[in-house]
């Protein structure tokens, strides 16, 4: 780059540049209605949840990705993308999204529970058992986690402990007895639903 002299910028040019930058910032702020990144993320998350509940999974996934544009560590967006992947049978992708949700919040119980189900589907029974145990440590009265842990332990050859977990699940939630009855095939509890907040 030798031989190229810097072009001096006069004060009037600097003032013009500063004015253009300020105008650009105002246009940018106006384009998003002056809303903060957090507010925009919340709106996209609510929009995605509405689409998700209506069964429009591709639209919901697009909305959840918009959440991550404004809030890259949003555990609910990653979790809900995992739910969509799991629904579509894309277990490896679901595993990744649940893992990202747990990176944001290692104690996010719905993600632990759903990831345990995914690991069972991927044939990773020991990982699944560990995840159910982590879930139960955080939420001891989570009947469905006890139920699925019971089935996983039985599949792993730990029949006595597995039966104890099944009994505890039914004690915590008697209607789960229909999933354990010897007359039918055992039915593990299903995954947690899409979420926008702890109360949703």
**Is 116 inside a domain boundary?**
yes
**Is 111 inside a domain boundary?**
yes
Q: How far apart are CA 115 and CA 176, in angstroms?
A: 21
Q: Give me the residue label for tokens 């998350």.
A: 45
Task: Indicate which CATH number applies to the domain containing 118.
Answer: 1.25.40.10
**Is 174 inside a domain boundary?**
yes
Q: How far apart are CA 77 and CA 165, in angstroms?
A: 32
Q: What stretches in the chain show pLDDT beneath 70? A: 1-33, 182-185, 195-200
Q: What is the pLDDT of residue 15?
A: 41
Q: How far apart are CA 78 and CA 114, in angstroms?
A: 12
Buried/exposed code over 143-157 (b: 16+ C-beta within 10 A; e: otherwise): bbbbbbbbbbbbeee
Q: At how many degrees (to 10) do helices 75-87 and 57-70 cross?
A: 160
Burial class (CB in 10 A: 0-12, 13-18, 19+), 133: middle
**Is 140 inside a domain boundary?**
yes
Q: What is the pLDDT of residue 19?
A: 34
Written as six digits, the tokens of 171 are 């004690």
Number of domains in the chain: 1
Domain limits for position 63: 36-179
**Is 78 inside a domain boundary?**
yes
Q: How far apart are CA 21 and CA 158, in angstroms?
A: 66
**Is 5 inside a domain boundary?**
no
Candidates 17, 195, 50, 2; CA nearest to 113 is: 195
**Is 154 inside a domain boundary?**
yes
Q: Is 89 left (phi over 0), alpha (psi -120 to 50) or beta?
A: left
Q: What is the pLDDT of residue 180?
A: 86
| pLDDT tens profile 89-128 | 999 999 999 999 999 999 999 999 999 999 999 999 999 9
- State the DSSP code for 103: H
Candidates 13, 15, 181, 192; CA nearest to 86 is: 192
Percentage of the chain modeled with pLDDT above 70: 78
Q: What is the pTM of this model?
A: 0.79
Written as six digits, the tokens of 169 are 């699940």
42 in Cβ contact with 76 (< 8 Å):
no
Give the CA radius of gyration of the chain.
Answer: 25
Q: What is the pLDDT of residue 187?
A: 79
């Amino acid at each position: 780059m030798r031989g190229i002299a810097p072009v001096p910028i006069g004060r009037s040019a600097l003032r013009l540049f500063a004015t253009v930058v300020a105008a650009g910032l105002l246009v940018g702020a106006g384009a998003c209605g002056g809303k903060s990144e957090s507010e925009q993320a919340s709106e996209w998350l609510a929009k995605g949840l509405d689409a998700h509940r209506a069964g429009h999974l591709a639209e919901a996934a697009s909305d959840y990705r918009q959440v991550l544009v404004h809030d890259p560590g949003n555990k609910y967006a990653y979790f809900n993308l995992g739910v969509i992947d799991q629904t579509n049978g894309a277990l490896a992708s679901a595993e990744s999204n649940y893992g990202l949700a747990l990176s944001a919040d290692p104690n996010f119980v719905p993600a632990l529970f759903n990831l345990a189900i995914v690991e069972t589907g991927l044939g990773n029974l020991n990982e699944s058992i560990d995840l159910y145990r982590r879930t139960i440590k955080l939420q001891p009265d989570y009947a469905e986690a006890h139920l699925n842990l019971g089935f996983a332990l039985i599949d792993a050859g730990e029949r006595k402990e597995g039966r104890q977990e099944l009994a505890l699940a039914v004690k915590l939630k008697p209607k789960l007895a229909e999933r354990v009855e010897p007359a039918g095939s055992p039915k593990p509890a299903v995954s947690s639903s899409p979420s926008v907040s702890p109360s949703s």
